[in-house]
Amino acid sequence: MIRAIIFDAYGTLISTGNGSVEATRKMLNQLNVLIDPVIFYKDWKLTHKINIENIGEFLSEYDIFIRDLQILLKKYSINEMPENAVSFMIHSLTGRKAFSETKDVIDSLSSKYTICIGSTSDTEPLLENIKENSLTFDYVFTSQSLRIYKPQKEFYEKILSILKISSNEAVFVGDSLIDDVLGPQQLGIYSVWLNRLKVENNTDIIPDAIIASLYDLPNVLKKLK
């Protein structure tokens, strides 16, 4: 029997919009650097992913951003301290809006299941976004609070341990095939891929279910007893 639904946050419940690119644009303008912010942010996102995957100890998102910028500023020959540039991205983490269906779906499921967030993020900005969007969760798990990142197995193990449930009593829902499908599936957690843009899955990862909107989730859950 399913007892808990664990949602990824950003890209699943809360839209990131173009905030990160705009933050990059503002940073580059401040530094008087003529680089396409879309290209720079794409490089930043890849660098961030590599840094998380290869980190030897837990660091907050802020500290990883500093590491990202150390690499990127050197790569693009920008003579600036990363500490003087990181604030633009940090400020972009708040003020993000929930997708239009998020509150309806969360509220409708809350009477039947324990509703949680499991997010690779720092805790404070996520809690601010949750409050600003008037969302309510039973638990909010972040990489900062758990001291581990997706898709490491321990991230999901810690959540199950705190909830005091087994893997077959949880469903994980998210927009990342790696973090929200492959990661939970390591423990046998039923994993739902939210594919809003209906992009092609060019990986070997096979979600247990695929939905195009959170409104499709209740029908998936009805089939799980």
Residues 6 or more apart whose Cβ sits within 8 Å of residue 56: none
Residue 225 is predicted with a pLDDT of: 67
More confident residue, 80 or 12: 12
Give pLDDT tens digits for 20-35: 899 899 999 988 888 9
pTM of the model: 0.90
> How large is the average pLDDT for residues 125-142?
97
Q: Which residue has the tokens 């996102």?
A: 45
Lowest-pLDDT range, 48-52, 158-162, 218-222?
48-52
Give pLDDT tens digits for 164-212: 999 999 999 999 999 999 999 999 999 999 999 999 999 999 999 999 9
Cα 81 to Cα 159: distance, rounded to the nearest angstrom: 37
| pLDDT exceeds cutoff 90 at 75 | yes
> How large is the average pLDDT for residues 88-102?
91
> How large is the average pLDDT for residues 65-72?
93
Q: What angle do CA 205, 56, 121 make, to 5 degrees?
A: 60
Residue 168 is predicted with a pLDDT of: 96
Cα 184 to Cα 213: distance, rounded to the nearest angstrom: 20
For the chain, the domains span 4-16+96-222, 19-91
Beta bridge partners of 173: 7, 192
Joined together, the tokens standing for residue 24 give 């990059």
| pLDDT exceeds cutoff 90 at 88 | no
Q: How many helices (H) and strands (E) does the chain have?
A: 10, 6
Structural fold of domain 4-16+96-222: Rossmann fold (3.40.50)
Provide the edge-to-edge strand list for the sheet that holds 209-211: 139-142, 114-119, 4-7, 170-174, 190-194, 209-211
